[in-house]
Structure 1
Amino acid sequence: MPETRAEIAERIMGFMRSEMQDKSIEFSMDTPLEGVKIDSIDVIHVIFKVEEEYGATVDMAPDSKFATVGEFVNALIDFIPADKKVDA
C-alpha cells in the first residue's frame, strides 16, 4: 500500500537512526545533517535500505551535499517510484 511522504520520511529517518553510532542523538527534518553524526558508509546503508524497501534505484551524484536531514530524506523520497507513495 502506498505511503504518504511524511510516512516515508519517518521510515527513512528510522533507517538513519538504526545506522547511527550514538542512538541518543535526537534529530528532525530541520536538524543539520552534520549534527546527526552519520558517516558515509552509514549513508550508503540507508540508501540500500530505501532501495530494498521501496524498489527504488537511487542514483545520487557522489558529490551531493545536503545541509539538513530533511534535504537528504526528500532527495531519497524523490527516487521512490510513484506507485509506492501518495501525495498527502
Structure 2
Amino acid sequence: MNAAAGPSSSDDGDILATLIGMIQSRAKTTAPLDAATRIDGVGIDSFDFVEIIFEVEEKYGIEVDYNANSTFKTTATIGDFAAEIERLVAAKSAA
C-alpha cells in the first residue's frame, strides 16, 4: 500500500470536521465550533478531553501525548489540536 492510500493533506479538513464533531458531542455550548474555537471555552472537562483523545487515537491509529497541565498551552484551539493530529498522522504514514 502506498502513502497515497493513507491520510494525506487532502484529509486535513476531514480531521478538523471529525474533531469538531467529537468535541461538539461533549461540549456544553450550542455555539458553532470551528478551527478558531478555544478548547477551554466549550465547557468540556479533562475527562471529556481524555475521552476525545482516546477516540482520536483509535480512529487514526496514533498516540497523542497528553499532559493535563500543558495541553491547552500548545493546543489552545480546535485548529491547533487538528494540526497536531495531522502531524501525528503524517508521521505515522511516513514511518
Q: Name the TM-score class by shorter chain.
A: 0.7 to 0.9
Instruction: Provide Cα deviations, 1:16-60, integer angstroms capped at 9, x if missing partner.
Output: 1122233x2211101222222211111101100011111111123
Gaps of 5+ in 1: 84-88
The CA RMSD over aligned residues, in Å, is 2.0
Q: Distance in 1 between matches of 2:88 and 2:33?
A: 23
1:7 correspondence with 2:14: yes
Name the CA shift for 1:77/1:61 in 2 (closer, same or farther; >3 Å). Answer: farther
1:73 correspondence with 2:82: yes
Higher relative contact order (CA 8 A, sep 6+): 1
Could you list the runs of 4 or more consecutive aligned residues of structure 1 that deviate by over 4 angstroms after TM superposition?
Answer: none
Q: What letter corresponds to residue 7 of structure 1 in structure 2?
A: D
Q: CA deviation at 1:2?
A: 3.4
**Larger-Rg structure:** 2
Q: What letter corresponds to residue 20 of structure 1 in structure 2?
A: A
Deviation larger for 2-11 or 74-83: 74-83
1:82 correspondence with 2:88: no
Aligned pairs, how many?
A: 82
Decide which of 38, 43, 48 is 1:37's aligned counterpart.
43
* Percentage of matched positions with identical amino acids: 29
Q: Find the counterpart in structure 2 of residue 16 from structure 1.
A: 23
TM-score, normalization by structure 2: 0.70
Give 1 or 2: higher helix fraction.
2
Decide which of 30, 34, 42 is 1:28's aligned counterpart.
34
TM-score, normalization by structure 1: 0.74
**Secondary structure, in 3 states, of the residue corresponding to 2:54?**
helix
